[in-house]
Amino acid sequence: MNEFTPWTLFVDIGIVSILLLIGKLMRVKIKLIQKLFIPPSILAGFMGLILGTGGFNLIPLSQNCSTYAGILIALIFGALPLTFQKNKENKLNIGSLWAYSQGGMFFQWAFGGLLGLLVLNQIWELDPAFGITLPAGFCGGHGTAAAIGQTFKKFGHNEIMSLAMTSATIGILSAIVLGLIIIKWANQKGYTSFLPTYKDLPQELRTGLLPIEKREKIGESTCSSISIDSLTFNVIIVVAIALGGYGMSKIITSILSGFELPVFSCAFIVGILIKLIFDKTSVSNYVCPQTIKHISGTFTDFLIAFGIASIKISIVVKYIIPLVILLTTGLIVTFIYVFIIPGKWLKEFWFEKAIFTWGWLTGTMANGIALLRVVDPEMQSYCLDSYAIAYLFIAPVEISLITFAPIIFVNGYGLIFSIICLLLCIAILLIAYFKKWFITKII
């Protein structure tokens, strides 16, 4: 193995940047890719996987691609609290969307854990945590897959990373491809509120290139460039938060020997503390949430590309049959939860909220937003407004699941963990029902 140097990092980033450009060109020019809405980051990841050391070894990507995922996810989670904004949306809509989303998250963790432990592990010799690669990849995307994989790797469970990354990749593809099929069906049934005809989808959604009249600013300039560039100011805040998370993780490890809190979790905590400090001072006036979102989006694109490129094909092939069973059944039960059980209990605009939830429960928040924009281009359902507040309560739970699930499974308490997740899902839905956050009339 070649010695790692700063130039190794530079070459890796350069290669993935070129692959992202090629992926974007493919999205613009190839009709099939446009119809499937495949993001350039996924195309870049597959090209890196096929052409890199795990495939034909035609491009000099180093063996450190999986390591970058741990750093990138710390940056992404560190930026997350800075994107929270106050909103005055109807509490009833927030409550129903929170219960629907939080219940779905617990349901997926419960289903994956129970299917793995009680069924798949009884047939094949698998890692006890095999089942939770489903929620790690689906409702978390490549970011959660990287976080979970990094934690398991520290406990010597090296295969979980590749399995979770594979789950995330299949999840994102399913979110978009199956999501568009569902939208077309719903449009024919008259369930969509703002989409007259499926064929009327604007071309920019297919190519990903916005015409001049539809372009928006990516953020506000809050600093004079004579002192420091505004983009630099926002970037260094995110990096400093991630570094603070790294430092917190190391301090906790030094105090509590044998216990290590993941860097991304610590970065999220540091981000919340910094956000509170900024809100108490005038600093928040100079931090642009929209710019932070784009910075986080940039890290996410590279995370997906590096994550897919670092998948160990041999591991996927080794577990291909149980993995196919896990992911296929996961898609089926997620569909049932989203569209058949509580999906039609939601109040007005139930389908718009359901398709958004399908997008992020199988892929990422970006997938959910992309599908929502297809059915609600003017955002008249206020789904994102409600979810933005609901996520303030979902985020700590999600971080806790990602942080402690690996520790729980490694110590042999996976079954108890999965049962608790199932009970919490049921409890949340019952509370929502008796609180009348849901209605049982099908729209």
Residue 86 has a CB neighbour count (10 Å cut-off) of: 8
Cβ-based neighbours of 311, under 8 Å, separated by 6 or more:
49, 54, 162, 165, 166, 169
Residue 110 has a CB neighbour count (10 Å cut-off) of: 23
**Local confidence band at 92 (pLDDT 50, 70, 90 cut-offs):** very low
- Report pLDDT digits (tens) over 175-191: 878 888 888 888 777 77
Residue 104 near residue 338 (C-beta atoms within 8 A): yes
268 Cα distance to chain centroid: 15
pTM: 0.74
* Residue at 10: amino acid letter: F
**SS3 of 426, please?**
helix
Cβ-based neighbours of 256, under 8 Å, separated by 6 or more:
none
Enumerate the H helices of 116-158 as residue ranges. 121-123, 133-137, 141-154
Residue 143 near residue 80 (C-beta atoms within 8 A): no
- Report pLDDT digits (tens) over 237-282: 999 999 999 999 889 888 876 566 778 778 888 998 999 999 999 8
Q: Which of 20-24, 35-39, 298-302, 359-363 has the highest mean pLDDT?
A: 20-24
Q: Give burial (CB, 10 Å; 0-12/13-18/19+) of 255.
A: exposed
Mean pLDDT along residues 385-403: 79
Closest Cα partner for 421 from 62, 117, 196, 197? 117
Residue 232 has a CB neighbour count (10 Å cut-off) of: 11
417 Cα distance to chain centroid: 22
- Report pLDDT digits (tens) over 405-426: 998 999 999 999 999 999 999 9
Q: Give burial (CB, 10 Å; 0-12/13-18/19+) of 217.
A: exposed
For the chain, what are the domain ranges?
A: 11-63, 65-202+228-434
Q: How far apart are CA 21 and CA 257, in angstroms?
A: 45
**CA distance to 117, 257, 315, per residue, from 412 (Å):** 11, 20, 23
Radius of gyration of the CA atoms of the chain, in A = 21
Q: What is the mean pLDDT of the chain?
A: 83
Instruction: Specify the pLDDT at position 348.
Output: 73
Instruction: Specify the pLDDT at position 236.
Output: 95
Q: Which of 3-7, 329-333, 363-367, 429-433 has the highest mean pLDDT?
A: 329-333
Cβ-based neighbours of 331, under 8 Å, separated by 6 or more:
174, 178, 362
pLDDT for residue 174 is more than 70 = yes
| 422, 424, 427, 432: CA torsion to nearest 10 | -110
Mean pLDDT along residues 373-396: 72
- Report pLDDT digits (tens) over 36-91: 777 788 889 889 989 987 778 899 898 887 778 778 878 988 888 888 665 544 44
Instruction: Specify the pLDDT at position 437.
Output: 73
- Report pLDDT digits (tens) over 283-321: 888 898 889 988 988 888 898 788 788 777 888 888 899
Mean pLDDT along residues 95-119: 91
